[in-house]
Structure 1
Amino acid sequence: MCEHGFPAPVPGCLGYNDPEYSFSHEEYAELKVTSPMFGVDCEMCLTSTKQLELTSISVIDEKGKLVYHTLVKPQNPIINYLTKYSGITEKMLRNVTKTLKDVHNDLRNILPPDAILVGHSLNSDLRAMKMMHPYVIDSSLIYNLTHCRKRRSSLKLLTKMFLKKDIQMNEAGHDPSEDARASLELVQLKLKNDLAFGDVIQGAKIIQNEQEVNVDSEKQDDMYKGNHSFSTSVEGSPHVYAFSIFQLANNMSLALVATPAGIKHYEEVFAKATQSLPHVEVVAGNKQVSQKAAQLTLEKDFIVLHMKMDTSLKKCGSPESQKAVLEKLDKRLSRIFSCAPVRSLITFVFTGSALDVPLKERSNGILMCCIKSQN
């Protein structure tokens, strides 16, 4: 939460030891399967402090019902109503007396102590609310089309792509109730699917007119204006959205070492290569893969080696057989490590289950990496 700008009672985070920030409750309850979600969206105006202050807030329950909406009088004079985006005008706030403190009191009465707050760029809303809450889901983070967590996609685009709905069509400004409901529906859709759903960083594939695309944040509005058909595919897909790391390693000597079965996974990479291909070694088995890779560490700048476990640990009949499998693997990995030059970056990837394995039966992958020191 700190990394993504959420207020939190942690040193270095927004709200830490700041008297202007308050908690949504004095005490919280442990989360359960039945803990309710509430969609939240705020509109802000620019005040004399050159800060955005809360002027409107809506809260939606899981059924899409509006449970709270109010206009709010900022603490400081407004210098720009930002009407194009906020929908707030001077006339709307002329007789408003509700303060931020009043909003805090209202929310404490509405939200249970195990409430999960949902929103799009929810960190900005909580910042405007001057409120800290421990349980959040941000639709701008659990969906990603750009391969970068800091480049978030707009709620308007995500709603169009995944919910097949048009929002924010009113030229008079955003409706916080509409935005809160859209964000909540996106989260509910994600929960019905998979961790990777709608997130290219987790392995989702975005399809536009039967062609895979990478959605650049600068082009999202242009894509939205076009008459395109979007869908996503993760479960059961033979491959995921990816690019070749070989094509990013410019001016480096490259090598690929794999078994005959392993090399088949790279045929598509080679077919789409736009630069010279890496040095390729196809060897008989995993032992030979580790031996050849160890030999190449002094000759090549970048080496990819592909091994496949002969037997999964889950299928090993006893602790002794599991130990034997791991000792064999450790010997092969140690061979590569010992031959690598000092200051080599060494990374081992254990992929875990494929995406076509049912979610409850999947096993996690592991990534291990280190830089070899002089010691």
Structure 2
Amino acid sequence: MKNITVIEPQFVSVFQCIGSECRDHCCKGWDITLDKPTVNRYLKSSRIEIKTLAAENIVTTRRSYENWGKMKLNTAGNCAFLDEARLCKVHSELGASALSPTCATYPRGAKIFKYEKQKSLALSCPEAARQLLSSPDAMLFEQTNYLQPEANKAQELDQEKKLLNLMCLNIVKYSGEHIDEAFYALASFLLYTGKVNDADDRVAKLEDYFAQTISSLTQGGIRQQLDQVKPDYNLQWSLLLRMQTYFGGITKLRGLPMLDHYINKLIYIQTEGAKNNDINQSMVRLENAWQSKMMPWFAERPWVMNNYIQYRIYDSFFPGDDSLTPLMKLYLLTADWFLLKSLIAASVEMVGQVDEDDIINIIYSYHSVTKHTAKSALAFVAEINKTKVNDDLSLIYLLK
């Protein structure tokens, strides 16, 4: 028997689907793929309505065992099995066990290693986003163990990468509501990890520099260094335009109408600056809104965005695999943060007050459009990566 460790943040362990109460249900606007047993189960169902709906709305693709069919969406963009109360007819008539793997597991997911499983939730689910952002303890980790006959058929967990991931999580945690300081500290820490090559005492050196980084965060040293950085408004403006161009080319995708609602507020502020031929005006206006309206609100709720960045580091096992350099990954994460920050700042500037629902709406819809599938994530990464200036350290110019 093999001992398997299961890690999950608290918001993952307490998550429950809220069904028809959800602000934007997951049965519309996306391709819903069905595996072979599910297709056959629905087409041969003893329930006439299920069988009829399946025959009329399942397109048999036979691309693979897991992708044997796809649901056609109706004129409203909904799955044909969705009833008037926005509940699943398959679930209500056949039970949860009859759901396809896609429907049964979403928004749940996990990274599987040989002896460890790291559970998570997709933030394209509005309720998952709400749970993450609204609870101070959402990113507290829970660990359980169980026995199974064999180890998981997956690679063994790299212990140094796990150590780096935990260190990065704690750097963010210690920054509280000051996420800009977290990113600056992470950049400094990752630069150092890239320079330490002595295998004999590498871990000891990393632990020592990590302790120094935490001390600099808590004692104000990181703040002093960050205050010396001057913003690059051209880089910031370029990134916002890239985002708007990218989203403008997308149609009929779940979450996009909600995201557009907030993008339009941002566009209005940018347009005002463009009228005066002064892009700096718009960027300064957004930063002032963030500092004067959002930061006091976050000071009373320091977990809100801190939980979000911790989630991103945990969910991606940052700095993770070797497909991209750690600094490149940090640049992309910082770009995401800057875009979300700009959308939130534009909303509070236009509306005049802070509403937690706006933050939830922005984050879940952003993830729906940019993070829901590997394909969408890669496309968005390629777009925002075009705005880099010289190297990955241009990320620091997005923090001011």
Question: Normalising to structure 1: TM-score of the pair?
Answer: 0.28
Instruction: Name whichever structure is richer in helix by fraction.
Output: 2
Q: Which has the higher contact order (CA 8 A, sep 6+)?
A: 2
Q: Larger C-alpha radius of gyration, 1 or 2? A: 1
Instruction: Name whichever structure is richer in strand by fraction.
Output: 1
